[in-house]
Structure 1
Amino acid sequence: MKNEKGFTLIEMMIVMLIISVLLIITIPNITKNNSNINNKGCSAFKKMVEAQIQSFEMEKDRAPASIDELKTEGYLKTGKCPDGTDVAIQPDGTVNTIAP
């Protein structure tokens, strides 16, 4: 007999079975938590916008009129949360999302 090194067909099938079971377990968990991930991303974006408003106020000695002013001055690249909802600055300086 030759002494060949390598995997047999049975060993490869067992490895493929283990990988598929792991994928079957993880994919539903990821899709189930997708909305939770987007909500946390939106709240983090709102906190970042509040920080950029404070930075704008320190540099310009006034509050920004809107998100568009923050974008044109280079403080923000976008005015939308990761889930696509728009963000607006209220007259009292708080940041809220706008329902689509």
Structure 2
Amino acid sequence: MRRLRESGFTLIEIMVVIVIIGILLALLLPNMVRSKHQGQLASCEHSLRAIASAMENYNTQYKQYPDSLKKLMEDKYVQQVFCPSNNSEYGLELAADGKDYTLFCQGSHHLVLGDLVAEGFPQYSGAAGLFRK
């Protein structure tokens, strides 16, 4: 009598598929994480630009820059003054003469991007615009 072969996968075939999936995940995961962090950096930079625009609108109306970012929220120029990637508050430094300012991200969460961003960055200067280092 002939034995009919049962359909199904052998243990070796299943293990080969699992190893291939593991290799693909090992290759793709770092790129996915980096893309996530780059998206958070772009969102942070966009927020800095929006706050800088609100600073200029405030300056147009009151002929001076606000002494704190909370003032922009109180006067409803912006809805938030926090970095969207880790919810840390942005920093504000006014020039001694009060005619320029620098906005900066206080978190170190963008450091995972390595040489792309330094600590305390990105920053936005009223005179120079946006910079990362």
* TM value normalised by structure 1: 0.66
**Residue from 80, 88, 95 that aligns with 1:85:** 88
Match of 1:66 in 2: 68
Partner of 1:94: 102
CA shift at 1:39, angstroms? 0.4
Question: Which one-letter code corresponds to 2:103 in the other structure?
Answer: V
Give the length in aligned residue pairs.
77
Note the C-alpha offset of 1:62: 1.3
Residue equivalent to 2:77 = 75
Tell me which of the two structures has the higher relative contact order, counting C-alpha pairs closer than 8 angstroms and 6 or more residues apart: 1
Which runs of structure 1 show a deviation greater than 3 angstroms over 4 or more consecutive aligned residues?
27-32
Give % identity. 12
CA distance in 1, matches of 2:104, 2:73: 16
Matches within 5 A, 1:1-100: 28=29, 30-83=32-85, 84-92=87-95, 93-99=101-107
Amino acid at match of 1:56: Y
For 1:81, the aligned partner's letter is C
Report how far residue 44 of structure 1 moved.
1.0
Q: Which has the higher helix share?
A: 1
For residues 10-31 of structure 1, give each alpha carbon's deviation from its aligned partner in whole angstroms, at most 9, with x where no partner exists.
xxxxxxxxxxxxxx99x85544
* Aligned twin of 1:15: none
User: What is the Cα deviation at residue 94 of structure 1?
Assistant: 1.3
Q: What 5-or-longer segments of structure 1 have no aligned partner?
A: 1-23
RMSD: 2.2
Higher strand share: 2
